[in-house]
Amino acid sequence: MNRETIKVALVGQPNVGKSSLINAISKANLHVGNFAGVTVEKSEVHTRYCDSSGCAEYEVVIIDLPGAYSLNDYSLEERVTKEFLLDEEYDLIVNVVDATHLQRNLLLTAELLELGRKMVVALNMIDEAEAEGIEIDERQLSSILGVPVVKTSARTKRGLDELMEAIVAVYKKPQTESKIVYSDYIEEEIDRLVRFFQERHYNSPIPYRNLAIRLLQEDTRIYKAMHDDPIWIELLPILRSALDHFYLHSGKMDIREIFADEHFAFAKGARMEVLSTRTPRARNLTQKIDNLLINKYLGIPIFLFLMWGLFQLTFSLGQLPMDWIQAGFDWLADQTRAVLGDSQLSSVIADGILGGVGAVVSFLPNIIILFFGIALLETTGYMARVAFLLDGFFHKFGLHGKSFVPLVTGFGCTVPAYMAARTLKSRTDRLITLFILGFMSCSARIPVYVLFAGAFFGTEHAGNILFLIYISGALFGLLAAKVLRTFVFKGQDDPFVMEMPKYRLPSLKLIYHVVSGQAMDYLRKAGTFILLASVLVWFASNYPKNPKLERQYETRIEGAATSEAKTHLQGKLQEELLAQSYLGRLGKATQPFFAPLGFDWKLSVSLEAGLAAKEVVVSTLGVLYALGDSAATGSRALQEQLRRHVSFPAALAFIVFVMLYVPCVAAMAVFKQETGSWLYLLYLFAGTTGVAWLFSFIAYNIAKLLV
């Protein structure tokens, strides 16, 4: 039997349970939440409507659109949702409303009704509303809105069948006009325009009333669509007169503000008509927990303690599997050399490909633990509260409360941190956050910090130095945000609007879905670019060849009396070959730029190699200081070589430079993708390099005075 397809646009404000609702309907595995990567792009779910005669009548396609507080272009999510609702083909809208916050949700409902499309309202989380003593008359609300209203609960599966029945019933019925009512002076102008269209038998794809409303709201799409229509000439004087009427009665000259007031009044009136409350049995658990977690005195210390604990787990639990993975890649590299011998092919595979991929994959356990902790805090509803808690502090530096989510993610890896910035509503907030994320020390910089801190500050002080580095990077980021907000991205801070969802216990299945998706994205985004960059670094450090120099050293090595002398000569040969390679030439060519910081060409070229991946800095230093592949991260031998060849002021300047300069190639590629501008990428590279050079210069000269 042929089935009809019903295409449904699922629309609602953030945290109303849209994803949970379609998950309950279709058994789809969707991420529930409102932070990084959640419904930024629309998701489709296919399900069948089953009635008493079977499942052969309708196939329902549900498109989960991004959560939006309104249908303006204020944020990326709102723009995606608005463009879909106005431009794409679909049969009806299902507006998911949080029953525990009815009035605020009805603001979006009012805007959806103005579109003139078939609609069903799903009054979701009704079980939680009733537990709080909230009672809603859905029949009265349906009468007020002019569309069906169904009470639902994704958690208890309540009302799901009734919702599907309402979808099919609305699909079958002809289009009807919404019943949203405005102030008398607005209704007068709407009626005037409706009569105008009726008299001229104007052919409109949406009901006359909805067309009139959108014209009075100065909808640019409608204006453009009708501009070339002959009726436009007659229409203009009516619109000018109507707007003058609005300005006179409202005392305001902003048409958006006028209609925003109307939506608020409508939502408030509807709530008063249909909602009643009874005294709850006891104060709900959410309020009790919030008294502690968002307390103005205890909230931030509790958050810092939780994040400290998360970082401790990230590095302590992640160390063992990281060592196993690195050992596995080392074994593969050794086997490659054993099978292929001492050849260029074995070198590019073992040193280039396996070395590059191994450097990334070895840090995956740390990344997974960090993502697990953040996902746990996010899906329980805690992260939303911390954003609310930190908003006032962040606004002092020109940042948004939500910025802390990508900033925290940046301590794990800058790549997913850039993608996490998508949750920021304002493009200005998003750009400022993207520009400062590089100052958050990602886990790939830890080997460099551990190496230099152990070499120049001693093991007993290395932990304190590491903590100081992380705090300093975060402070640099905040100060940079203030500078960007003051001099580059000028303007007032955007208001912070964020609903605090109730605390929930996330399922292990949901956590696995979030963490596995982020981990695969990390490998996909970072691994590909680092693989290519590692091969390029290998090529640049191995070519051009110098057979004459190699023959000279081979003769001297064969004549060496002891194994120590042979090892020393082999190291010197490797050092001279590197000095004459493309990489060495690059280091020497750029050395004048780094000379005021006390860097020799070896330190310079290691920083340049670090553009591929910050882990490459340590391996490059090991090779350049004639220790070869035996130079493990943080090894005492490499630390001894650094103490011998690098001064303390230069080492301090090197740490500062690594802390502040541009992230890896993979992160820069994602930065360009998120900003959509090569020019912004150029600004990022030049800006962070300039800041890193300046403060490294200051650190170098201060250290010279003190030492």
What would the pLDDT profile of 629-679 be if each residue is shown by its tens digit? Answer: 443 333 556 777 788 888 899 999 999 999 999 887 778 888 888 888 889
Query: How does residue 441 score in pLDDT terms, banded at 50, 70 and 90?
Result: confident
> Which has the minimum average pLDDT: 416-425, 472-481, 604-613?
416-425
Out of 515, 547, 572, pick the residue that ends a domain.
515
Top-confidence range, 162-166, 282-286, 325-329, 622-626: 162-166
Counting beta carbons within 10 angstroms of the beta carbon of residue 318, is it exposed (0 to 12), middle (13 to 18) or buried (19 or more)? Answer: buried
CA distance 406 to 420: 5
What's the pLDDT at 27?
A: 63
pLDDT at 115 exceeding the cut of 60: yes
CA distance 375 to 371: 6
The alpha carbons of the chain give a radius of gyration, in whole angstroms, of 31
In a domain, 532, yes or no: no
**pLDDT, averaged across the chain:** 78
> Which has the minimum average pLDDT: 15-19, 26-30, 85-89?
26-30
Domain count, the chain: 4
- Mean pLDDT, rounded, for 10-28: 80
Distances in Å between the Cα of 93 and the Cα atoms of 65, 83, 166 are 11, 14, 11
CA 105 to the chain's CA centroid: 25
Expressed as residue numbers, the domain containing 414 is 301-515
Q: Which two tokens stand for residue 466?
A: 């590491």
What would the pLDDT profile of 36-85 be if each residue is shown by its tens digit? Answer: 343 455 567 777 776 555 555 788 888 888 888 888 766 777 888 888 88
CA distance 707 to 702: 9
What's the pLDDT at 630?
A: 41
698 and 574 share one domain:
yes
Q: Which residues pair with 642 in a beta bridge?
A: none
309 and 245 share one domain:
no
16 and 108 share one domain:
yes
Query: How does residue 626 score in pLDDT terms, banded at 50, 70 and 90?
Result: very low
Instruction: Answer yes or no: are the C-beta atoms of 417 and 36 closer than 8 Å.
Output: no
In a domain, 639, yes or no: yes
Q: Which two tokens stand for residue 142?
A: 């349906």
591 and 682 share one domain:
yes
CA distance 161 to 153: 11
Instruction: Answer yes or no: are the C-beta atoms of 60 and 170 closer than 8 Å.
Output: no
What's the pLDDT at 56?
A: 54
197 and 166 share one domain:
no
234 and 153 share one domain:
no
pTM summary value: 0.55
Q: Strands across the sheet with 119-124, in order?
A: 43-51, 54-64, 4-12, 92-98, 119-124, 149-151
237 and 161 share one domain:
no
Out of 119, 147, 172, pick the residue that ends a domain.
172
> E-assigned strands of 36-98?
43-51, 54-64, 92-98
In a domain, 292, yes or no: no
CA 548 to the chain's CA centroid: 53
Q: Give the residue, 421 or 16, on which the prediction is more confident.
A: 16
Please report how many Cα atoms fall inside a 13 Å half-sphere around the Cα of residue 186, on the Cβ side.
21
End-to-end alpha carbon distance in the chain: 87
